[in-house]
Amino acid sequence: MKTFRFSTIQGNSLGYYALLGLLGCLIFLGLGAAHYMEHEGHWVTGMTNQIVWGTPHIFAVFLIVAASGALNVASIASVFGKTAYKPLSRLSGLLAIALLIGGLAILVLDLGRPDRLIVAITYYNFKSIFAWNIILYTGFIAVVAIYLWMMIERRMNDYSKPAGFTAFLWRLILTTGTGSIFGFLVAREAYDTALLAPMFIIMSFSFGLAAFLLVLMAAYRWTARPLGDALLQRLKNLLGVFVASVLYFVLVYHLTNLYFTEHHAVEEFLLVSGGIYTFVFWVLQILCGSLVPLILFYHPSLANSRIAIAAGAGLVILGGLAQLYVIIIGGQAFPLVLFPGAEVSSSFYDGVVNSYAPSLPEVLLGVGGTAFSLAIVALAIKVLGFLPDSLGDSETIAET
C-alpha cells in the first residue's frame, strides 16, 4: 500500500485569514442571537407552545446527522478495506467531530437556560431517548477522537482498524437514536413510524458525504494541492447512490403512511394542501435536493465537471435541510389527533394547523453553529496533518 505524506497547511495567506474572519463574524452573530433569545425570551422566535422545535433544531439535527455520515469515508476504508479511501480517513474523522460539536452547540444555546444542561448530564432517565442521546453524542466524540489518534500516531496504527469498527457501530447507533427521537413520538401523526430510524441512517450517509465532498474540494483548491478526478468521481458516484437511496426511503415512508387510513390526513397535508410545507417538500427536497443532483452527477455532459459536482453536493445539503424542515416543523404544524374520528374545536388550538415562521435570531444561531464547525476544521488542519500532500490520480488510482 502506498504511503501518503500528511502535512499541515501554512495558514498565513490573506484568503485564510479572510475565511477565519468571515466564520468568526458568523459565530459572533450566532452568539448574539442566542444572547438575545435568552435575554428577551423565546417569544421573539417563531416557536410557540405548539411548535417547540424550530429552525435552530433543523440546523442542529442536520449537523448531528451529517456528522455521522461524514465518518462514512473513514469507515469504508477501515471497516470494509477499501484502501482508496484510506488517505481521506483523517479528514473524515475531523469533520465528523466538528459537525457534531457545531450541532450540539446550537442545541445548548437554544435551551434558553444553557446551564440546565448540567441536569441532563448528571441525572438520567433511561426510559427517555433524549437521555440516551446525551451518552451517544459525547461518546461519539470520544470514540472518533481515539480513532484519529490511532491513525495519526504511527505506533498505534495497528489498532486503527478495531477503533474504526467501534466508531462505525457507534455512529450507526447514534443515528438510530436521533431518528428514534421522532419515531418514538407516537402522538404525532407524521412521526409515528419505525421507518424513521433507518431513514435517518441513509440520510446521514447522503448529507455527511455531501458536506465532506465540499470541504475536500475547497481545502485542496485553496491550498493548491492536487486532487485527482479518479477519487473525486468515486466519491461523486457514491454520493449519487446515497441520494437515490434517500429518495427511495422517502417514497417508502409516504407510501406506508398512505396505506394506513389513520395517516391519510397528515399525508394529504404534507403532500397536497400544506402550503409552505408542500412547496418545500416537492420543490426543495425532491426536485432541488434529489432529482437535480442525480442529473448533475450522472448526465454524460455534466458528470465530469467539478462545478457540477460541487453544485450537486450543495443542493443535496439544501435538500437535506428542506427534508428536516418538513419532518420536524411540518410534523408539529399538523394538529394532534386527540380523539380519532371526532372533530375537536376549542380555544387551545385543537384541530387547528399550527403556524410557524422562522425568525432572524433562529437563522443566525443555526448559521453560527455551522460556521463554528467549519472554523474547527479550518484551525485543525493548520495545527495537525489531516490532509495528504497529494491526492492526484497517480497516487490514488494505484490504491483502487
CA 160 to chain centre: 25
Q: Is the pLDDT of residue 335 over 60?
A: yes
pLDDT tens profile 304-314: 899 999 999 99
CA dihedral (56, 57, 63, 67) positive or negative: positive
Q: Backbone phi, then psi, for 6, in 5-degree steps?
A: -100, 145
Residue 387 bridge partners (DSSP): 7
Q: Backbone phi, then psi, for 363, in 5-degree steps?
A: -65, -45
- What is the pTM (predicted TM-score) of this model? 0.93
Contacts of 350 (CB under 8 A, 6+ apart): 335, 336, 338, 344
The pLDDT score that the predictor gives to residue 110 is 85
pLDDT tens profile 81-92: 888 889 999 999
pLDDT tens profile 248-290: 999 999 999 888 878 888 889 999 988 999 999 999 999 999 9
Q: Which domains does the chain have, with CATH numbers?
A: 7-390 (1.20.1630.10)
